[in-house]
Structure 1
Amino acid sequence: MALTVTRARQREFPGLPEQVSAARAWVVSCLPAGCPRADDVALVVSELVTNAVLHSVAGLPGGTVAIRVELQGDAVAISVVDAGPRPVPARRPAGESGWGLADIVARLVDAYDATTGPAGRCAWCRIDWTTTATEANPR
């Protein structure tokens, strides 16, 4: 059964680290009141936008990150689009650690994909209201 898009919104943010919180707040404001997975959505958006800012052309001067939010019945689909990978891969600072984008996103979403094409890179995910992160992706 295909999901029906009941509302879609899109916004572009400057590719600056200080814009991650603004992007997160905007996406959460697009959710229905009392959304049971709002915290999961906020964390996933933070990870996807941070990754775009740190590791893509979007994070260079003048770069931007576009976000699309689609409410689909009992779910939300989020797309984060950047201008593609930087010419030289970013190095992780010494001593930096963490779970990493793939681990965090995989634990919280019901579906995820990322594609890179000539126009840039798109990371897409879907979070259902009817499941918890643990039910969707038990570890």
Structure 2
Amino acid sequence: MLAIAQLSTGSRVPLVADALSLLLVRNPGAAFSVGSGSAWVFTVIGVLTAAVMIGVAVRLRGIRWGIALGLILGGAVGNLADRLLKPPSFGQGHVTDFIAYGNLFVGNVADILIVSGVLLCLIFLFSGHKPRLHPSLNADPNRG
């Protein structure tokens, strides 16, 4: 909301020389504006991602994986909110991006959360820290 209120579309505000700046962009696609004509697909992916993260989170044991999955869930829900509530229409809204990384790409805080969560998951997996889950609520109580 602050980016929309304070930035003008297309006007770059340098933060760290040319390496990092603020630049308001409405992104109809995914990273690097891939799939710009299929915003509804990203809405479906966002809903599915949030559902899976919540499903895993309710069974998760341990704070380390909870933080990683919480970051991914927070980012997915942040971008999903834009897809659902922003113009041009419900489910096809454009994501508000405003953090420009040089001339490479423009992202937002939700993107940072998603990437951070995925990186943490990879670090945990490659360092041998597998997620621990509570037994399924549907498990047979007679099984040992």
Whether the TM-score (by the shorter chain) exceeds 0.5 is no
Structure richer in helix, relative to its length: 2
- The normalised TM-score by structure 2 is 0.31
Q: Which of the pair has more CA radius of gyration?
A: 2
